[in-house]
């Protein structure tokens, strides 16, 4: 166990001299070698950037308010936004239906979206109408205010929390800033709209 290891000092000195010569000559990089290294790095970065920066799928939505809450509908479902003025009440209709409204000569049912969703709000406040796309049988929806159109990346849409959202709810997803994306098919299944 007490074996002595002998060091070949001549070999060590030779290696040191060789390495020192290499270091002294390496002060100036070889231009051809540097060009090769830069090209390889550029190709690697370009390949990585193509993978990392794929454009995210986005959905354009209209964000609006009902009382103090913010909601959204996909733009594909909307034909028009208009000031909701003269609504003619229809006797005997469901509480959620405000009546009928004339939109450029076309008579459409007008439904209070807050009532459909069970959201209490000021009943006397003026509103904005959202005209749904898809046929004259679809109602115009009354909302409080329109915040604007936003493009929401699909990967930022979160499923609704089932513990907070009742079963059968019309909430399709939760968007950034706690905006609830409405499920139009679920909304149109409401008994008052059948």
The helix/strand/coil state of 113 is helix
The tokens for 142 are: 């009354």
Tell me: do 41 and 108 sit in the same domain: no
Tell me: do 41 and 63 sit in the same domain: no
Among 121, 82, 118, 119, CA closest to 103: 82
Tell me: do 75 and 138 sit in the same domain: yes
| pLDDT value of position 170 | 85
Average pLDDT over residues 69-83: 93
Least confident of 4-8, 137-141, 160-164: 160-164
Tell me: do 97 and 178 sit in the same domain: yes
Q: How far apart are alpha carbons 128 and 99 in whole angstroms?
A: 15
Domain-embedded: residue 75: yes
| pLDDT value of position 76 | 93
Tell me: do 42 and 62 sit in the same domain: no
Would the pLDDT of 53 be above 60?
A: no
Tell me: do 111 and 23 sit in the same domain: no
Tell me: do 89 and 44 sit in the same domain: no
Q: What are the pLDDT digits (tens) for 147-174?
A: 999 999 998 899 887 666 554 578 889 9
Q: For the chain, what is the domain count?
A: 2
**Percent of the chain at pLDDT above 90?**
27
Higher pLDDT, 56 or 65: 65
Mean model confidence pLDDT for the chain: 83
**Percent of the chain at pLDDT above 70?**
86
SS (H, E, C) the chain: CCCCCCCCHHHHHHHHHHHHHHHHHCCCCCHHHHHHHHHHHHHHHHHHHHHHCCCCCEEEEEEEEECCEEEEEEHHHEEEEEEECCCECCCCCCCCEEEEEEECCEEEEEEEHHHHHCCCCCCCCCEEEEEECCCCCCCEEEECEEEEEEEEEHHHCECCCCCCCCCCCCEEEEEHHHEEEECHHHHHCCHHHC
Tell me: do 13 and 34 sit in the same domain: yes
pTM: 0.68
| pLDDT value of position 128 | 93
Domain with 34, as residue range(s), is 9-52
| pLDDT value of position 125 | 67
């Amino acid at each position: 166990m007490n074996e002595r290891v002998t060091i070949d000092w001549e070999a060590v000195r030779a290696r040191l001299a060789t390495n020192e010569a290499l270091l002294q000559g390496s002060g100036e990089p070889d231009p051809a070698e540097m060009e090769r290294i830069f090209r390889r790095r550029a190709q690697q970065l370009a390949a990585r950037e193509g993978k990392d920066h794929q454009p995210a799928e986005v959905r354009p939505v209209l964000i609006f308010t009902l009382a103090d809450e913010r909601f959204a509908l996909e733009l594909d479902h909307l034909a028009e936004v208009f000031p909701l003025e003269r609504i003619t009440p229809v006797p005997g209709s469901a509480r959620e239906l405000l009546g009928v409204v004339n939109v450029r000569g076309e008579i459409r049912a007008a439904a209070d979206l807050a009532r459909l969703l069970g959201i209490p709000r000021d009943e006397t406040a003026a509103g904005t109408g959202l005209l749904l796309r898809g046929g004259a049988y679809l109602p115009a929806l009354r909302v409080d205010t329109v915040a604007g159109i936003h493009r929401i990346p699909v990967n930022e849409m979160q499923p609704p929390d089932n513990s907070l959202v009742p079963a059968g709810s019309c909430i399709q997803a939760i968007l950034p800033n706690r905006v609830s994306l409405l499920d139009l098919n679920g909304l149109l299944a409401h008994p008052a709209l059948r």
